[in-house]
Amino acid sequence: MANRSATPDKFVMDRTGRYSSDVFRTSLLGLGNNVALFRGPSGNKFLFSGENKFVSAWWPRSMKNVMEFPRPQQHG
């Protein structure tokens, strides 16, 4: 249960040991959304050489709600 023990390194090592891959899919923080984790040189090459063709950034709705602040109202 590495995912509940607050040790991300152990979590990643357990997953890569189980699936024998530097790229794997999992669900983080119980958000219900799957994410892909890239590890090692081959994962970095895939991630950074694609020029946003294969991977796009996104934020879960809960994070958007936390990070977006209401704009101040204009007076006058």
Residue-range domain boundaries for the chain: 2-67
pLDDT value at residue 53: 78
Residue 14 has pLDDT above 80, yes or no: yes
Pick the residue with more confidence: 76 or 39?
A: 39
Q: Are 24 and 37 in contact (CB under 8 A)?
A: yes
| Prediction pTM value | 0.45
Cα dist from 41 to 6, 12, 20, 24, 45, whole Å: 25, 15, 15, 14, 6
- Judge whether residue 5 has pLDDT over 70: no
